[in-house]
Amino acid sequence: MNDLSAFRRLAATATIGSFSIAALMGIAALLAGGSFGESEGRVLLTTLIVGCASICMLCYLATAGTRWSPVGGIGAVVLLLPTVTALVLVWGDWDSHGEGLWKSYGVGVVGAVTLAQICLLLALAGARAGLAVVLWGTVALAAVLAILVSGLILGEVETDSVWRVLGVVAILDVLGTLVTISLAKFGASDDKKLAPASDWSVTLPAPQAAALHVRAREAGRDPADLLAEAVDRYLAQPATGASDRVHPA
């Protein structure tokens, strides 16, 4: 758990730091004396690229520590394609870039943004059984929308026949995203589905269990009594938020 928290902090710091550097470059380009030329424009576009990539990366990091973390890892890998391609397009000779590079960039953007959306939904509602239908329905719509848009970019889908379907899927995707996020943050919780208190059990991670046994030996007491005493002290404190709720194992 400590390794995971350290990785999350490192990744978030690197993401924020990289955009901070790009932002400073953009500000310097705007405030520098002289006319606004091609180089300044490329610096600003680079800032925009890094900023968009940073937002996507933060969405991927939202899944860290959950069972959906592999999805975030896939998103981080996919993000490399549009980011690198965009930088090549900005800093290279625009006239020399072929159609394939532009298509790769477009498909990469679609994939990265779709995975960012899915990661955000999973991080907010992935553990809510009551939202499973709307969550996975929205994920499916996002995947279908990504396939349709990618097909249009690659020229594999007939334009005349797909626009109506694309519009319907896009509207339902946005609606599902808004409903899922709203219910996950402001809807009723799943607490009413918890097992009766008499059926609850607590599983401690190995380091905490070992420390509890050491403290019990030192005090000459039963570990279960020490744990119950710690829970009693915790419950006697004023509640500070929903994150402090105790859930059954």
**Mean per-residue pLDDT pooled into runs of 10, the chain (249 residues):** 59 73 74 70 84 90 87 93 90 75 92 95 87 93 94 78 88 94 78 54 80 82 81 76 47
* DSSP three-state, residue 232: helix
Name every residue whose Cβ is closer than 8 Å to that of residue 144 and which is 6 or more positions away in sequence.
Answer: 169
Q: CATH classification of 197-244 is 1.10.1220, yes or no?
A: yes
pTM of the predicted model, to two decimals?
A: 0.66
Predicted local confidence at residue 108, as pLDDT: 94
Alpha-carbon gap, residue 139 to 119, rounded angstroms:
10
Q: Where are the domains of the chain?
A: 2-185, 197-244
pLDDT of residue 11: 67
Which residue type does 79 have? L
Could you tell me if 123 and 76 are in contact, meaning their C-beta atoms sit under 8 angstroms apart?
Answer: no
Q: How many CB atoms lie within 10 A of CB 225?
A: 11
Non-local (6+) Cβ contacts of 61 within 8 A are: 8, 11, 12, 15, 72
